[in-house]
Structure 1
Amino acid sequence: MITIHITSASKVGCVRSQNEDMVLVGNHFVRNDGFKTRVDLTNSDRYLVAVADGMGGHNRGDVASSDALHNLQFFFHDLPTGLNPGGINEMMVGWLDSINNIVASKGRSDEQYKGMGTTLVGLAFYEGEFYSLNCGDSRLYRFRDGELTQLTSDHSLSNMLGSSQHSNIITNCIGGGCSTSFIDIVKITADVKAGDVYMLCSDGLTDMLPDHILTTLLTNGSDANNLCDAAVAAGGLDNVSCCVLQF
């Protein structure tokens, strides 16, 4: 039995007129709200948490992030049993093609949706195995023994060039005009330990709070709502969303 205490929050911030982020926790969707729960998992269970940061299309990134998470939730729970990591990867690549087509087709049929897209970062539990999922520049972190470690790599121009001058330009996402989207899928089961804290977040959190501040907040027991409030207090220049999982 694996027990996880989960908190999540998603806030509009101080500048944006609407929240284009969304968080998925199990079967619960979070936007402009907070949510907390406890889950007890056995090897026969499936569970998914994810953060999507929408963008573009006349501010209809809210539609892209919602479409991606609702579609992913249905897809994940509809997966056949007995898949190995290679099978999971193959199915996820197929899902990415499908959701890209869905998002793009909305843009072709209605001008207000043209160019909309979303990032996606997730942590999935499938038949006893944990997988990280990443498309874009939202992030998954592990906090262990006072040390914060980023587990995903940003699909961004600044990361490619090794500079912070283009921090808001992403090179990969769902929709958004990307014709060659990809998703990083990594089995991380062997690295998950009791006492670990995992955090998923949009860049609205990490742009406002550097790693040393996040480390201090997590050391002091901050939950997702506390972290989002701290990012808003620091300026809240973007929508801010996160999910904190205590194993």
Structure 2
Amino acid sequence: MARRTDIGRVRDLNEDSTGLFVTDSGTVIAIVADGMGGHQAGDVASSEAVDTIQNVLKIENLNVSTDEKSEVLLHAVGKANERVYTLATENSHMQGMGTTTIAAIVDEHEVVLAHVGDSRAYVLHNDGLYQLTEDHSYVNLLIKHGQITAEEARNHPQRNMIVRAVGTSEDVEVDLVNTPWSEGDFLLLCSDGLTSMVSEREIGIVLSSTSMSIDEKADKLIQLALEAGGNDNISLILLQHTGRSATS
């Protein structure tokens, strides 16, 4: 397991937060959140969301069915939304803050995800990189409606605008995704500070490299994002399926 966060080359504050822990039964909980709302707000939104989700999941039995894991994640993200929205409502300097959230329950059989915003999850399987999540972003809506190409989206002036976030309104719509995974696979959770700087092709090349350890792969991804400009905070969690569980 590897977890990294970097302020990048442009921002003067890191508004990303990450959470990573292993339950007694060996299930991994991984969370990446990318806050928005500027000083005293974005970093609060992301850290509160991560803490709330971790606190909910830590007391749950996660040796349950896929559907039950999804329900637990939905409940946890709902609680995070409640927490961030309440803070934003009660503190004028935090008004309007919110955060992307991607939370995963990972055991040796499957990855179950809850997702809001434009942070992403990828799985590398048989050297092919697959994006598990769909961005809740303005440019992604334009792509889906055929108004711009994926290439145009990379440089669109509103490419950072998200249409769904945790904490910006009383209710939040959460995407739930699950996939089996197996020995040799990698799971990557990351903020858009990585994916806006580094192409999927480059990410795939790094993850499928046989000469780098998991820590070296994580460091390399951060390095590539910084070399490409580091225009945003960069955060990632990388897990490898070793054949037993994600941790062993």
Smaller-chain TM-score range? Answer: 0.7 to 0.9
| Residue segments in structure 2 that go unaligned for 5+ positions in a row | 242-248
Structure 1, residues 4-40: CA drift from partner, whole Å, max 9, x if none?
A: xx1111000001001011111116xxxxxxxxxxxxx
Amino acid aligned to 1:230: L
- Once residues 15 and 100 of structure 2 are traced to their aligned partners in structure 1, the CA distance between those partners, rounded to angstroms, is 11
- Find 1:20's aligned residue among 15, 18, 21: 15
Structure 1, residues 141-184: CA drift from partner, whole Å, max 9, x if none?
A: 11123221111111111112203133211111101x23442222
1:54/1:64 contact within 8 Å kept: yes
Moved more, 84-93 or 221-230: 84-93
Deviation at 1:129, TM superposition (A): 4.8
- Three-state SS of the structure 1 residue aligned to 2:104 is strand
2:110/2:178 contact within 8 Å kept: yes
Q: Tell me, yes or no, if structure 1 residue 199 matches structure 2 residue 188.
A: yes
Moved more, 120-129 or 47-56: 120-129
* 2:172 corresponds to: 181
Amino acid aligned to 2:177: V
- Once residues 92 and 144 of structure 1 are traced to their aligned partners in structure 2, the CA distance between those partners, rounded to angstroms, is 24
Identity of aligned residues (%): 33
- Three-state SS of the structure 1 residue aligned to 2:224 is helix
1:52/1:69 contact within 8 Å kept: yes
1:93/1:182 contact within 8 Å kept: no
* 2:33 corresponds to: 52
1:57/1:115 contact within 8 Å kept: no
- Find 1:244's aligned residue among 225, 228, 238: 238
- Once residues 127 and 223 of structure 1 are traced to their aligned partners in structure 2, the CA distance between those partners, rounded to angstroms, is 21
- Once residues 98 and 80 of structure 2 are traced to their aligned partners in structure 1, the CA distance between those partners, rounded to angstroms, is 10
Deviation at 1:88, TM superposition (A): 3.3
- Find 1:140's aligned residue among 106, 109, 121: 121
* 1:208 corresponds to: 197
Amino acid aligned to 1:146: D
- Once residues 37 and 46 of structure 2 are traced to their aligned partners in structure 1, the CA distance between those partners, rounded to angstroms, is 11
Write the mapping of 1:120-135 to structure 2, written as runs, cut at 5 A.
120-125=101-106, 129-135=110-116
For normalisation by structure 1, the TM-score amounts to 0.82
* 1:38 corresponds to: none
- Once residues 75 and 13 of structure 1 are traced to their aligned partners in structure 2, the CA distance between those partners, rounded to angstroms, is 31
Deviation at 1:85, TM superposition (A): 3.4
Give the RMSD, CA atoms, in angstroms.
Answer: 2.3
Moved more, 155-164 or 80-89: 80-89
* 1:117 corresponds to: 98
- Three-state SS of the structure 2 residue aligned to 1:119 is strand
* 1:224 corresponds to: 218
- Three-state SS of the structure 2 residue aligned to 1:133 is strand
* 1:169 corresponds to: 161
Structure 1, residues 91-125: CA drift from partner, whole Å, max 9, x if none?
A: 43333332222112212222121111111112213
- Once residues 128 and 145 of structure 1 are traced to their aligned partners in structure 2, the CA distance between those partners, rounded to angstroms, is 16
Structure 1, residues 27-73: CA drift from partner, whole Å, max 9, x if none?
A: 6xxxxxxxxxxxxx89x443201111111154521111110111111
Q: Which has the higher strand share?
A: 1
2:100/2:119 contact within 8 Å kept: yes
Large movers: runs of 4+ above 6 Å: none
Moved more, 79-88 or 218-227: 79-88
2:73/2:113 contact within 8 Å kept: no
- Once residues 21 and 86 of structure 1 are traced to their aligned partners in structure 2, the CA distance between those partners, rounded to angstroms, is 29
1:61/1:117 contact within 8 Å kept: yes
Amino acid aligned to 1:147: G
